[in-house]
Amino acid sequence: MGSFGRAFYTVGFWIRETGQALDRLGSRLQGNYFFQEQLSRHRTLMNVFDKVPVVDKDAFVAPSASILGDVHVGRGSSIWYGCVLRGDVNSISIGSGTNIQDNSLVHVAKSNLSGKVLPILIGDNVTRMNHFGMGATLLDGVVVEKHAMVAAGALVRQNTRIPAGEVWGGNPARFLRKLTEDEIAFISQSAINYANLAQVHASENAKGFDKVEFEKVLRKKFARRDEEYDSLLGVVGQKAA
pTM over 0.75: no
Q: What is the pLDDT along the chain (241 residues), one digit of tens a residue?
A: 567 777 888 888 888 888 888 887 887 777 765 555 556 678 899 999 899 999 999 999 999 999 999 999 999 999 999 999 999 999 999 999 888 888 888 888 887 777 778 888 888 877 755 667 777 888 888 888 888 888 888 899 988 999 999 999 999 999 999 999 998 888 878 888 888 899 999 998 988 888 888 888 877 776 666 666 566 555 555 554 4
CA distance 180 to 203: 35
Going by C-alpha positions, the residue among 64, 94, 104, 96 that lies closest to residue 195 is 96
Q: What confidence score (pLDDT) does residue 240 get?
A: 46
CA distance 29 to 222: 54
Q: What confidence score (pLDDT) does residue 241 get?
A: 45
CA distance 110 to 92: 12
At position 169, the amino acid (one-letter code) is: G
Instruction: Compute CA 211 distance to the chain's CA centroid, rounded to the nearest angstrom.
Output: 24
Q: In what order do the strands lie in the sheet with 174-178?
A: 149-150, 166-169, 174-178
CA distances to 15, 25, 81 from 20, rounded to whole Å, are 9, 9, 25
Helix H or strand E segment including 211: helix 209-222
Helix (H, G, I), strand (E, B) or coil at 144: strand
At position 219, the amino acid (one-letter code) is: R
Q: What confidence score (pLDDT) does residue 201 get?
A: 92
Quick count: other Cβ atoms within 10 Å of Cβ 180? 11
CA distance 145 to 165: 8
Bridge partners (DSSP) of residue 45 are 67
